[in-house]
Amino acid sequence: MSDDSTVFARPTSAAMTGKQTATLKTMVTDEVAEDFARFARQRGYPSQADCLRELLLTALYGPDHVADLHRQRIASLFGDRSAIGTAP
């Protein structure tokens, strides 16, 4: 694993639509749990759950799907004002 000095923008799974009420569970060793906590933290995730959710969605639907969800979340901040700041 790389060191803890890597910093990324904090991603979020807030773009996910629909209620997220289903739970997936598994058991891992303490070492795996510690390594995953470090993995998530190094990538700027606010929680291990957010990181695990995006890993799962990426594995199931591909990285483009997750990227589209993030683009939709960002676009929703501005509604129909996409041209703001682009006028000459």
pLDDT digits (tens, 9 = 90+) for 26-52: 999 999 999 999 999 999 999 999 999
Q: Would you state the structure tokens that stand for residue 67, as one six-digit string?
A: 């990227």
User: Does the global pTM surpass 0.95?
Assistant: no
Question: Minimal CA–CA distance to 54: which of 30, 7, 28, 44?
Answer: 44
The pLDDT of residue 2 is: 47
User: For the chain, how long is the longest CA-to-CA vector?
Assistant: 58
Question: Minimal CA–CA distance to 45: which of 1, 75, 2, 6?
Answer: 6
Name the band, by pLDDT with cuts 50, 70 and 90, for residue 76. Answer: confident
